[in-house]
Amino acid sequence: MPSELRKDPVMGRWVIISGERSRRPNPFRHYTTAIETAGACPFCPGNESMTPPEVLSYRSSCEEGGWKLRVVPNLFPALRIEGDLDKRGEGLYDVMRGVGAHEVVIETPDHESTPATYAQDQMVAVIGAYRDRMLDLLRDGRFRYVMAFKNHGAPAGATLAHAHSQIIALPVVPVRVGWAMEGCDKYFEYRGRCIYCDILSQELSDPRRVVVQNHHFVAIAPFASRFPFEISILPRRHEAFFWGLSHDHVVALAEILQDILRRYRLALKDPPYNYILHTAPPGYPSPDRYHWQVEVIPKLTEAAGFEWGSGFFINPMPPEEAAERLRDLERVMDVPEGHLLTAGSSGTRGG
Amino acid sequence: MPSELRKDPVMGRWVIISGERSRRPNPFRHYTTAIETAGACPFCPGNESMTPPEVLSYRSSCEEGGWKLRVVPNLFPALRIEGDLDKRGEGLYDVMRGVGAHEVVIETPDHESTPATYAQDQMVAVIGAYRDRMLDLLRDGRFRYVMAFKNHGAPAGATLAHAHSQIIALPVVPVRVGWAMEGCDKYFEYRGRCIYCDILSQELSDPRRVVVQNHHFVAIAPFASRFPFEISILPRRHEAFFWGLSHDHVVALAEILQDILRRYRLALKDPPYNYILHTAPPGYPSPDRYHWQVEVIPKLTEAAGFEWGSGFFINPMPPEEAAERLRDLERVMDVPEGHLLTAGSSGTRGG
């Protein structure tokens, strides 16, 4: 494919999709996800005293170690839960105290397992914990945004081996969220519809970029993907807030997210990755304009300071090809028949 | 220092400055910058035929190998110089052909040297080449932006060992540049002045974050630094366009940039890094509002998908401490007396 400039319709960001760049020597790096555990693992059963007291646990018994999932405050928090914001100026700068919450979701008692190897109920517990903790944190009026995300493997930012993810509650709305809202607003003012609903509809009618779908969610390789094998998981039904999802939807999200992570593991040799839940901020006044979603990014290239500095991305893997490669894994995957709808099986493949 | 939320006054981005996070096990990673060269190096003298024909060279003689610096088109270009843009829609998406320029600046004939070890005239040649190539590329009316940047070391995105940097000419203005312009506009409309001129003035009056300065430039650790030891180099005199700089300014920029890279090498054990030239786009109608600058970012942490996804940054190194550590190197550095003005020597250290 000759190289193309594609515009992200929400963020207004142009991305160079350059199939030719993948002919370079070593276009993708292979990183190991292994992290050595020096001494006792603070997230393993029996070592609960090494973490701060839990704020949530799902457990089968009240005995020590009888838990399925725990959420604890981060021992090295970026933000502190106590105190007021004390907003002030320093000359032309604005500053406030680092008030917020920084929690760790210990996803499983098993030191060795990862989302790609969990039994499904374990992944359901993880997604449920994000929802439950967000609902609780949002009762604190100081918090204007809550985010949940996972770093898998050291090259993706993890510092401990035992599977975990993080929840951060912030007293400000991150600027990226604001930019996305602006993009959604512009489209809504012009077309009178949610831009993501229209994206879903276009992607489903010509499913070249659809990787997999189930009754509640669709996983696509975005048209203007910044990174090779980047995936967006969108709920079919319009909904601005992640934390509004029902138990059925929690199960369906766990299923499709886990499916994507299994495909990464097979196609990309267990790469490091990140996923991030994007949701409208609490109190967002125009819930008909924004559509919550999960962004999943495997770490295969060194997108470094250049991209940080410029906001400009060169992606050597066209998303159509990424989607095809991830779809094709169905032949080798142990997917129960009829369980996941694949792009092809929806019968809507366009010309 | 307790953690603080600081707002970038131009981008509107909040950053968590969290000194406590640096107490974590392994807060900084130590990456190697070494890249193995398999076979002949295409950037070494004698191998000129391995690259496309040069578009610029500085040379002492016309013999093969008699060059000091070469600029050649990238052999694996992200963009192609030929053709028109062919802008079109694909449903709700926008796309255009990948028309642009992608050039490589081979900074030195010496395979082993790096900017931190160059003689000063070599660094002057590099900065001069950025200016000369930009001026030439901007004669092409299809290009709306030109950027120059360097990736040093594989973890910062370099794929070849021999010192080189890159120039990309784009048919669109990157969205980050647009956001910076908006931030500058907002400030100008309110205060009637360039925000960066005001930042310089505030930083010089209380030079805790000033690392080093010379007669034309000031290097500071930005108030809302996203990354440990991030540096901005700003010209003292207001100027929107990088390519307007005189020979005196080229020399002074080479001097201060090289000084920062030497400090990184000493303080941070030759880390991978990126630098990026930020300039107003050609034809920018309000040159009194934007101030060109160089951003320098060492690669010490894994800021991965989470930050990509959220736009939210956690920086474990307060910029005041980063500036102090980099300043303190003067005792061990071979800086000719009176050659570089240090933060302390300006006599303006505030209370």
Per-residue pLDDT of chain A (351 residues; tens, 9 = 90+): 788 999 999 999 999 998 766 555 555 666 777 788 888 999 999 999 999 999 999 998 777 778 999 999 998 888 888 888 889 999 999 999 989 999 999 999 999 999 999 999 999 999 999 999 999 999 999 999 999 999 999 888 888 999 999 999 999 999 889 999 999 999 999 999 999 999 999 999 999 999 999 999 999 999 999 999 999 999 999 999 999 999 999 999 999 999 999 999 999 988 999 999 999 999 999 999 999 999 999 988 776 666 777 778 889 899 999 999 999 887 666 554 444 444 444 333 333
**Residues in CB range of A351: below 8 A, 6 or more apart:** none
Percent of chain B's residues with pLDDT above 90: 72
Spatial contact of A233 and B309, defined as CB atoms under 8 Å apart: no
Higher pLDDT, B320 or A307: B320
Interface size, chain A vs chain B, as Cβ–Cβ contacts under 8 Å: 249
| Assigned token pair, A14 | 């142009």
Residue of B nearest to A76 (CA): B21
- Partner residue facing B6 (CB), from A6, A95, A274: A95
pLDDT for A347 equals: 34
Task: Evaluate whether residue A351 is within a structural domain.
Answer: no
Spatial contact of A275 and A294, defined as CB atoms under 8 Å apart: yes
- Is pLDDT at B274 greater than 50 in this prediction? yes
- φ/ψ (deg, to 5) at B190: -85, -45
- Partner residue facing A98 (CB), from B18, B176, B272: B18
Q: Which residues of A63-76 are buried (b: 16+ CB within 10 A; e: fewer)?
A: eeeebbbbbbbbeb
DSSP codes, A185-230: HHHHHHHSS-HHHHHHHHHHHSGGGEEEE-SSEEEE--TT-SSTT-
- Give the SS3 label for residue B117: coil
- Partner residue facing B93 (CB), from A11, A223, A311: A223
pLDDT for A343 equals: 44
Task: Evaluate whether residue B33 is within a structural domain.
Answer: no
- Is pLDDT at B137 greater than 80 in this prediction? yes
Spatial contact of B14 and A172, defined as CB atoms under 8 Å apart: yes
| CATH for A302 | 3.30.428.10
Say what the ipTM of the complex is. 0.86
Give per-residue pLDDT as tens, B295-313. 999 988 776 666 777 778 8
B311 and A175 within 8 Å at the Cβ level: the answer is yes
Report, as residue numbers or ranges, the catalytic residues of B.
Answer: 164
Please report which confidence band the pLDDT of residue B349 belongs to, taking 50, 70 and 90 as the band edges: very low
* Contacts B13 to A, Cβ<8 Å: 174-175
Task: Evaluate whether residue A154 is within a structural domain.
Answer: yes
- Partner residue facing B156 (CB), from A21, A157, A302: A302
Q: What type of residue is B248?
A: D
B5 and A172 within 8 Å at the Cβ level: the answer is yes
**Residues in CB range of B287: below 8 A, 6 or more apart:** B240, B241, B280
Spatial contact of A177 and B311, defined as CB atoms under 8 Å apart: yes
DSSP codes, B56-115: EEEESSSSTT-EEEEEEE-SS-SSBSSS----EEETTEEEEE-BSEEEEEE--S-TT--T
Mean pLDDT along residues B211-233: 97
Other residues' Cβ atoms within 10 Å of the Cβ of residue B192: 8
pLDDT for B342 equals: 46
Range(s) of the domain holding residue A15? 4-346
Containing H/E element for A150? strand A145-152
Q: How far is A32 from chain B (nearest CA, A)?
A: 14
pLDDT for A1 equals: 72
Mean pLDDT of chain B: 89
Chosen for mutation from A94, A147, A220 (greatest number of chain B CBs closer than 10 Å) is A94
Chosen for mutation from B306, B307, B317, B320 (greatest number of chain A CBs closer than 10 Å) is B306
Task: Evaluate whether residue A292 is within a structural domain.
Answer: yes
- Is pLDDT at B259 greater than 50 in this prediction? yes
For β-strands A88-90 and A93-97, DSSP reports them as antiparallel
Task: Evaluate whether residue A133 is within a structural domain.
Answer: yes
- Is pLDDT at B89 greater than 80 in this prediction? yes
Task: Evaluate whether residue B35 is within a structural domain.
Answer: no
Residue of B nearest to A205 (CA): B91
Distance CA A128, CA A167 (A): 13
* Contacts A7 to B, Cβ<8 Å: 93-95
Helices (H), chain B: 120-137, 175-191, 195-205, 247-267, 305-310, 319-327
Give per-residue pLDDT as tens, B62-72. 777 789 999 99
Residue of A nearest to B91 (CA): A202
Please report which confidence band the pLDDT of residue B280 belongs to, taking 50, 70 and 90 as the band edges: very high
Task: Evaluate whether residue B172 is within a structural domain.
Answer: yes
Other residues' Cβ atoms within 10 Å of the Cβ of residue A335: 15
Query: What are the distances in angstroms from CA B115 to CA A189, B55, B124, B154?
Result: 50, 22, 10, 16
Give per-residue pLDDT as tens, B155-214. 888 889 999 999 999 999 998 899 999 999 999 999 999 999 999 999 999 999 999 999
- Is pLDDT at B151 greater than 70 in this prediction? yes
Residue of A nearest to B24 (CA): A76
Please report which confidence band the pLDDT of residue B20 belongs to, taking 50, 70 and 90 as the band edges: low
Distance CA B273, CA B298 (A): 4
Task: Evaluate whether residue B248 is within a structural domain.
Answer: yes
- The strand ranges marked E within A8-144 are 14-17, 56-59, 67-73, 88-90, 93-97, 101-106
The CA-based angle A91-B187-B130, given to 5 degrees, is 100
Distance CA B296, CA A305 (A): 8
The total number of structural domains that make up chain B: 1
**C-alpha atoms less than 13 angstroms from C-alpha of B272 in its C-beta half-sphere:** 26
**C-alpha atoms less than 13 angstroms from C-alpha of A110 in its C-beta half-sphere:** 9
